Structure 1
Amino acid sequence: MTAVVGNEETTGPARPADPTGAERPAQPGTAPPAPPEKDDDGVIVTLRETSRAAKALLLGVFVNKLAAFIQIYLVLFLTNRGFSPTQAGLALGVYGAGAVAGSLIGGSLSDRIGPRAATLVSMTGSAALIVSILYLPTYPLLLGAIFLVSTVGQFYRPAAQVLLTELTPKHRLVMITAVYRLGLNLGMTAAPLIGAALLSVSYNALFWGEAAAALTFAVIASLALPRRVSRPAAEQKTAEPEPAGRSGYRAVLADRRYSLYLVAVLLTSIVYCQYTATLPLDVAAAGVSLWWYGAAVSLNGFIVITCELAMTKVVQRWPIRLTALLGLGLVSVGYAIYAISPLPVWFMVGTLVWTLSEIIGGPTVFAYPAMAGPERLRGRYIGAMQSVFGLGTALGPVLGTLVWFQVGRSVWLWAALVAAVATVAGLLGMRTPATGAEEPQPAAASAG
């Protein structure tokens, strides 16, 4: 059995099996015996059997996302302060760049100091930086603070996924990732409304509200998240060996198959976000009422929030590469449908298809990095995926609108082709996670 305390590992002999077959009592500080396989792997059973620490983490992430106001209202805040729209747009781009950097740094921090410590640094640091934006007098200082807010505030994302992986039995990981994604989606859906209410009071209330939510998450992390997680030896066998002579992100990039997976995530995210940039332009140019665009976006949000958990209960038992094939491939099909005709029915059908890709493959694609690499690089594997996903969503609107202005509606055929290439890269890059003789046990957590 391997016990991890901060960055140090200590090893001890595993308990021999009882030849009589009787269940032996667990020793202090070790994980409980693995639960028997259950037919019901739905969200209720998963949450019932999830540890208190994992539930606290899910709550903290949800609270933090409920107050994710800055990215939504940053342009309005800066123009209200007298800065030009161009300056406000640049600041928003700087915020996006900070999110990419924050995922990389957060993955490294999670591996070095542990996910709990990385979360505390993220939430306490971002709370102070958020408030500072209100009082900085010059544009360069504001840009610096905005970059740091986004960077530091993103540290917790890889850390959260690492900790959920360590606290969750492997057969529950895809479902708990779906619950995690639901919390993010619900928070992001409610945040604009809560932010508008605070904005009716003042911008100060908006920024102080986001800082308070970050501090709330920090308190939850301090009280409920473990400093130490002990994992069973069987789980150690699932990771691929590290490339010799390399460490950190060099080791991640030296994993050629995982690098292909990162390419797939980057290309898919570039295509996926076209519904926010290119689709409204295409709908308006076709003379179709923008009501249909709003209906398509609302359809996506409604299906993801209401159906992803139910779909995950079905697909979590499928082979991981089959789930990835559907999750990535349906993006290509959905955007190709947009190219058929600029009629509202095709906009709706296309949106339905690529939304199916999200609810089928989203939890698996986001859970996979935690299964892909060595345990001591788990944070970096997750951080690399999250950073390229963020890079894709930042580049996508620029590239998509540029291509649309050049080739018109043929942009959807190009988008479908890029998504198809991403599908092939994903299938080549993803390994089927190895399984031991028995299902890995839930990790034993200690707050001390």
Structure 2
Amino acid sequence: MTAVVENEKNMPPGPPDKPDDGVFVTLRETPRAVKALLFGGFISRLAAFIQIYLVLFLTDRGFSATQAGLALGVYGAGAVVGSFVGGSLSDRLGARTVTLISMGGSAALIVSILYAPTYTLLLAAVFMVSTVGQFYRPAAQTMLTELTPRHRVVMITAMYRLGLNLGMTAAPLIGAALLSVSYNALFWGEAAAALIFGVTVMFALPRRGAHAAYVAKQQEAVAEKAEEATQGRSGYLAVFADWRYSVYLLAMLLTSIVYCQYTATLPLDISAAGISLWWYGAAVSLNGFIVITCELAMTKVVQKWPIRLTALLGLGLVSVGYAIYAISPLPIWFMIGTLVWTLSEIIGGPTTFAYPALAGPERLRGRYIGAMQSVFGLGTAIGPVIGTLVWFQVGRSVWLWAALVSAIATVAGLIGMRDPHKAEESRPATASAT
């Protein structure tokens, strides 16, 4: 009897007759497990010190700037690999188990960086920290989707993003405080945060099969495995066989390559124009302030829009914003351009990041999420390199090229994204045959 009551606590509430998808109502009516994941995402970013301070740590230990830069690149590569592997593990082992593996494993590996005796072993430790630490992201999004009614998934994703953004904003300051003590305090602090997240998951998240959707999920798995046998595809091959979703992934890759230019190309362009870098700081601060304060309020409106309208504005305004940069190297255009592409983020961010969890069959949900997070991470990793190389070749025309690539990404998004409910209805109803 106790188990039944516990299961009911973990079940997502059904949609009311007149659903209220506001921020506070959604948060109040979410299950405890969802709140735990929101808290865990915030904690994980609040203590994300390694990526920020890795270069300083290595140069302080006597390594060259080139060696430190290579280690940072290895960290980025691990994040891409971790999302792919995490998506697969989430489908196989369940989101709770994968999150526990991710947090427990990364806590131990973080500390190992301090004691790696050689540069080669240190690189291996950095790669493993990034890879294992990334496992939880597809798993967390999978669990958020499974425990949340569909009409509230976009809003919950917006809340999750808010926690990540708040954590990322505060992390450099907390890291600096720990660094004033020692690098040991910095690394042990991040390991402790991972353990806190892991303990939270252990007690707050339901075991696999504890929520009501488990039985239906197993039935669907049986049916779709039979379909796999006839089509010869499984795992990520099945994901990429979804041509629409592959086009959506292309849109995310191109968008991430363009989006991250504000971290690499924009400061170069502002400096070359003879403008104070204060304006760069103001533009970045404007973006962070608007996203943190306005995204949830915007999501309350946007979550009811047709998905292609959200994609058009969410992806297309990135193109418009960067095209505005090309008008003239004056502070006013840098601020207006930043405002426009920030608007694209608060309009389209929650929907485009929630979409993978709703786009494919439930059995492959982790892989759909992992594929998106991997290509987005890949774009973020290679984007600054591509952007700066193009800027050195063509100068300020780089913003026109960025706008063009972003426009292509918008078209790809419009083709690749479809109403998840219609996609589900169009899928063969093979489950009834079993």
Matched pairs, number:
413
Q: Which runs of 5+ in 2 are unaligned?
A: 426-434
Aligned counterpart for 1:174 among listed residues 139, 151, 154: 154
Whole-Å Cα distance in 1 between the matches of residues 154 and 23 of structure 2?
Answer: 11
Cα-to-partner distance string for 1:194-244 (whole Å, 9 max, x where unaligned): 000000000000000000000000100111111123229999999997763
Larger RCO (alpha carbons 8 Å, 6+ apart):
1
Q: 1:116 to 1:66 in 2, by over 3 A?
A: same
Whole-Å Cα distance in 2 between the matches of residues 177 and 238 of structure 1?
Answer: 25
SS at the partner of 1:54? helix
1:232-381 paired onto structure 2 within 5 Å: 244-381=231-368
Q: 1:178 to 1:126 in 2, by over 3 A?
A: same
Aligned counterpart for 1:195 among listed residues 147, 151, 175: 175
CA displacement at 1:331 relative to structure 2: 0.4
Which residue of the partner structure matches residue 165 of structure 2? Answer: 185
Which AA in structure 1 matches 2:25?
A: V
Cα-to-partner distance string for 1:306-332 (whole Å, 9 max, x where unaligned): 000000001000011110110000000
Cα-to-partner distance string for 1:70-109 (whole Å, 9 max, x where unaligned): 0000000000000000000000000000000000000000
Residues 238, 436 of structure 1: 8 Å contact kept: no
Which residue of the partner structure matches residue 432 of structure 2? Answer: none
Whole-Å Cα distance in 2 between the matches of residues 413 and 233 of structure 1?
Answer: 52
Q: 1:238 to 1:41 in 2, by over 3 A?
A: farther
Whole-Å Cα distance in 2 between the matches of residues 336 and 41 of structure 1?
Answer: 35
Which residue of the partner structure matches residue 370 of structure 2? Answer: 383
CA displacement at 1:29 relative to structure 2: 5.3
Which residue of the partner structure matches residue 205 of structure 2? Answer: 225
Whole-Å Cα distance in 1 between the matches of residues 356 and 6 of structure 2?
Answer: 31
Residues 12, 147 of structure 2: 8 Å contact kept: no
CA displacement at 1:34 relative to structure 2: 2.5
Which AA in structure 1 matches 2:404?
A: L
Whole-Å Cα distance in 2 between the matches of residues 119 and 113 of structure 1?
Answer: 10
Whole-Å Cα distance in 2 between the matches of residues 341 and 91 of structure 1?
Answer: 37
- My pick for the range that moved more, 349-358 or 232-241, is 232-241
Q: 1:284 to 1:435 in 2, by over 3 A?
A: same
1:412 lines up with 2:399 in the alignment? yes
Cα-to-partner distance string for 1:120-142 (whole Å, 9 max, x where unaligned): 00000000000000011110000
Whole-Å Cα distance in 1 between the matches of residues 7 and 173 of structure 2?
Answer: 45
Aligned counterpart for 1:54 among listed residues 30, 34, 54: 34
Residues 238, 435 of structure 1: 8 Å contact kept: no
Which AA in structure 1 matches 2:298?
A: M
Cα-to-partner distance string for 1:395-424 (whole Å, 9 max, x where unaligned): 100000000000000000000000000000
Which AA in structure 2 matches 1:52?
A: R
Whole-Å Cα distance in 1 between the matches of residues 219 and 337 of structure 2?
Answer: 41
Q: 1:325 to 1:135 in 2, by over 3 A?
A: same
1:431 lines up with 2:418 in the alignment? yes
Whole-Å Cα distance in 2 between the matches of residues 28 and 67 of structure 1?
Answer: 32
Whole-Å Cα distance in 2 between the matches of residues 112 and 73 of structure 1?
Answer: 34
SS at the partner of 1:133? helix
Aligned counterpart for 1:139 among listed residues 106, 114, 119: 119
1:80 lines up with 2:60 in the alignment? yes
Whole-Å Cα distance in 2 between the matches of residues 390 and 248 of structure 1?
Answer: 20
Whole-Å Cα distance in 2 between the matches of residues 315 and 435 of structure 1?
Answer: 19
CA displacement at 1:114 relative to structure 2: 0.2
Residues 323, 361 of structure 1: 8 Å contact kept: yes
Residues 120, 222 of structure 1: 8 Å contact kept: yes
Residues 260, 425 of structure 1: 8 Å contact kept: yes
1:208 lines up with 2:195 in the alignment? no
Whole-Å Cα distance in 1 between the matches of residues 370 and 177 of structure 2?
Answer: 33
CA root-mean-square deviation:
2.3
SS at the partner of 1:41? coil
Cα-to-partner distance string for 1:129-165 (whole Å, 9 max, x where unaligned): 0000001111000000000000000000000000000
Whole-Å Cα distance in 2 between the matches of residues 126 and 33 of structure 1?
Answer: 33
Residues 238, 371 of structure 1: 8 Å contact kept: no
SS at the partner of 1:246? coil
| Sequence identity (%) | 80
Q: 1:248 to 1:288 in 2, by over 3 A?
A: same
Residues 317, 344 of structure 2: 8 Å contact kept: yes
**TM-score after normalising by structure 2:** 0.91
1:57-72 paired onto structure 2 within 5 Å: 57-72=37-52
Which residue of the partner structure matches residue 81 of structure 2? Answer: 101
Residues 331, 354 of structure 1: 8 Å contact kept: yes
Q: 1:436 to 1:138 in 2, by over 3 A?
A: closer
Q: Which runs of 5+ in 1 are unaligned?
A: 1-25, 439-448
1:395 lines up with 2:395 in the alignment? no
Whole-Å Cα distance in 1 between the matches of residues 13 and 123 of structure 2?
Answer: 52
Q: Which has the higher helix share?
A: 2
SS at the partner of 1:409? helix
Whole-Å Cα distance in 2 between the matches of residues 37 and 236 of structure 1?
Answer: 29
CA displacement at 1:28 relative to structure 2: 9.5
Whole-Å Cα distance in 2 between the matches of residues 411 and 32 of structure 1?
Answer: 47
